Amino acid sequence: MVYNNLHKWGLSAKFEHEAQIYEGLFPARVTEQHRNIYKVVCEDGFQQATVSGKFIYTAHTGSDFPAVGDWVMVCLENDAAVVHYVLPRKSVFGRRAVGTSTESQIIASNVDTVFICMALNADYNLRRLERYLSIAWDSGAIPVVVLTKSDLCENLEQKHSEVLGISFGADVIVCSNLKQGGYGAVMQYINQGETVAFIGSSGVGKSTLINHLLGQDVLATKEVRNDGKGRHTTTHRQLMLLPSGGLVMDTPGMRELGTVSADLDKTFADIGMLAEQCKFSDCSHTTEPGCAVRAAIESGILDGARLGNYNKIQMEAGYSGLSSRQIEEEKIKRMFGGKGEMKKTLRSIRDKNNRRSIKGYDS
């Protein structure tokens, strides 16, 4: 089957190939979610959708359920779509669900580029940005830092320099919502068939940015409160087509961003390089002699608050005392539920590949 409509919604050869496994079902992409009701786009257009009873029975956690951006396999029943499977995600931006210790909540799925928005006024917070970057790098998407409301910043050069100093490997864009500056730079990261997501606190200007990209006021916007804090305007996640091609996802502002999994090697590359110079390979950077990290803090090369945030995120993600290899093993264990579940998953993938080969041979 030819999927001309779905290609503009980001259907790649990878997802199209995986969809062929499921006979009698067809692919669709989740564009909105309202509690247990989803809006999906199929080759023939939009449909309201729910998940099947079997899906609910076999789901282990909330993150197993469809999220905005997911590719799902559906069938039509009574003029509505029913979701039976979620295709493997190529990228997942998630956080620890509010009020839980281990449950994760998916913020964005199958995203190519994540724009981390931070306003240069009251919202400016380097420690929060480090947290966003850690989760974004771990998601599989490429993070880009967008500094908004530059017209409200008196020390722009200093703050820009501070952000560059902690955003290793990530591009940094400066823009002003009032002067409409920087939007051209944002567009350079959005290509035909690719998906981008805007994340950040409330009131940083995500909806205003997206409205400029859409060329019309689709998303509601509000001024910040008198105390400089943002107001919630986006109440749910939604995926939208841009006139120039590509797709954009808006997300509600997040007051809390608990860490379930993070990439500390990329976000804190400076600490990693310093740690290699420590006298002891298992240095905790506290009281050990010959600690290059503590020496860097004492000489003013490294901000002590940055090390504190590194330790905090490491502890939240359950990586304290683990090597890089052990951290990767821990991530795999969480994804597959231990060796037994991993073997079961790999066996399932192998069986599916065998079915593909047989199907291709018969045809």
pLDDT given at position 318: 74
Q: What average pLDDT is seen over the chain?
A: 82
pLDDT of residue 338 exceeding 50, the answer is: no
User: Could you give the C-alpha distances from 218 to 14, 123, 213, 215, 358, in angstroms and in order?
Assistant: 31, 24, 10, 9, 48
Give the mean pLDDT of 281-304.
Answer: 93
pLDDT given at position 310: 92
From its phi and psi, is residue 86 left (phi > 0), alpha (psi between -120 and 50) or beta? beta
User: Could you give the C-alpha distances from 191 to 31, 185, 242, 292, in angstroms and in order?
Assistant: 18, 13, 10, 43
pLDDT given at position 228: 45
pLDDT of residue 232 exceeding 80, the answer is: no
Q: Which residue has the higher pLDDT, 226 or 61?
A: 61
Give the mean pLDDT of 283-304.
Answer: 93
pLDDT of residue 87 exceeding 70, the answer is: yes
φ and ψ at 29, to 5 degrees? -120, 135
Give the mean pLDDT of 147-168.
Answer: 91
**Contact by Cβ (8 Å): 104, 94:** yes
φ and ψ at 280, to 5 degrees? -110, 135
Q: Which residue has the higher pLDDT, 347 or 168?
A: 168
Give the mean pLDDT of 22-48.
Answer: 93
φ and ψ at 350, to 5 degrees? -65, -45
pLDDT given at position 206: 85
CA–centroid distance for 120 within its chain = 22
In angstroms, the CA 25 to CA 202 distance is 39
**Which helix (H) or strand (E) is 39 found in, with range?**
strand 37-42
Give the mean pLDDT of 138-159.
Answer: 91
3-state secondary structure of 303: coil
- The residues that bridge with 49 in the sheet, in sequence order, are 38, 81
pLDDT given at position 176: 75
Give the mean pLDDT of 110-133.
Answer: 92
Residue 254 structure tokens: 């997040």
Position 333 confidence tier, pLDDT thresholds 50, 70, 90: low
Helix, strand, coil content of the chain in percent (nearest 5): 35, 25, 40
Q: Where are the alpha helices (H) located in 230-288, listed in sequence order?
A: 264-267, 269-275
Of 196-205, 221-230, 299-308, where does the model show the most confidence? Answer: 299-308
pLDDT given at position 362: 36
* Count of CB atoms situated within 10 Å of the CB of 293: 25
pLDDT of residue 194 exceeding 70, the answer is: yes
How does DSSP assign 135-166, residue by residue?
Answer: HHHHHTSEEEEEEE-GGG-SSHHHHHHHHHTT
Contacts of 206 (CB under 8 A, 6+ apart): 117, 198, 199, 200, 234, 250, 251, 253
**Contact by Cβ (8 Å): 280, 290:** yes
Q: What pLDDT, in 10s, does the model give residues 96-119?
A: 665 555 567 888 899 999 999 999
Of 149-153, 164-168, 224-228, where does the model show the most confidence? Answer: 164-168
pLDDT of residue 295 exceeding 80, the answer is: yes
In angstroms, the CA 256 to CA 283 distance is 30
pLDDT given at position 217: 67
The half-sphere exposure of 171 on its side-chain side, counting CA atoms within 13 A, is 12
What percent of the chain has pLDDT above 90?
49
pLDDT given at position 317: 74
pLDDT given at position 61: 86
Position 327 confidence tier, pLDDT thresholds 50, 70, 90: low
Q: What pLDDT, in 10s, does the model give residues 159-189?
A: 999 999 999 999 999 987 555 656 778 888 9
* DSSP at 104: E
In angstroms, the CA 153 to CA 156 distance is 6
3-state secondary structure of 113: strand
pLDDT given at position 175: 85
Residue 19 structure tokens: 């969809």
Q: Which of 63-72, 210-219, 270-279 has the lowest mean pLDDT?
A: 210-219
Q: Read off the pTM.
A: 0.81
Give the mean pLDDT of 202-221.
Answer: 78
252, with CB counted inside 10 A (0-12, 13-18, 19+), is middle
Q: Which residue has the higher pLDDT, 149 or 218?
A: 149
**Contact by Cβ (8 Å): 85, 22:** yes
pLDDT of residue 336 exceeding 80, the answer is: no
**Which helix (H) or strand (E) is 171 found in, with range?**
strand 171-174
